[in-house]
């Protein structure tokens, strides 16, 4: 089994397959696949942004001597 990864949207309860990935999935007949869907959670996105900003707030201007 191999994995094909792409980001997509769900429209009318259908997962849209990007044109660039269609040739990898087309076999000319039926094929059994396993589908795992990771849905972006708005709370998770907000949490990531908050933790990133809080992490960066922990640095002082004097820490910039370590920046390349």
Range of the domain at 53: 10-58
Would 19 be classed as within a structural domain? yes
pLDDT tens, residue by residue, 4-55: 999 898 899 999 999 999 888 887 888 888 888 888 777 777 888 888 888 8
d(CA 42, CA 32): 32
Q: Which residues contact 35 (CB under 8 A, 6 or more apart)?
A: 15
| pLDDT at residue 68 tops 70 | no
Inside any domain, residue 65? no
In the prediction, which pLDDT does 54 show? 83
Asked whether residue 64 is assigned to any structural domain, the reply reads no
Tell me which residue of 27, 7, 30 sits closest to 18, measured CA to CA. 7
Asked whether residue 66 is assigned to any structural domain, the reply reads no
Number of domains composing the chain? 1
| pLDDT given at position 18 | 92
Q: Give a yes or no: residue 36 inside a domain.
A: yes
Q: What is the pLDDT of residue 24?
A: 87
Is there a domain that residue 42 lies in?
Answer: yes
């Amino acid at each position: 089994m191999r994995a094909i990864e792409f980001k997509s949207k769900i429209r009318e309860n259908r997962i849209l397959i990007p044109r660039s990935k269609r040739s990898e999935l087309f076999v000319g007949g039926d094929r059994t696949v396993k589908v795992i869907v990771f849905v972006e959670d708005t709370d998770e996105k907000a949490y990531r942004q908050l933790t990133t900003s809080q992490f960066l707030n922990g640095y002082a201007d004097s820490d910039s001597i370590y920046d390349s």
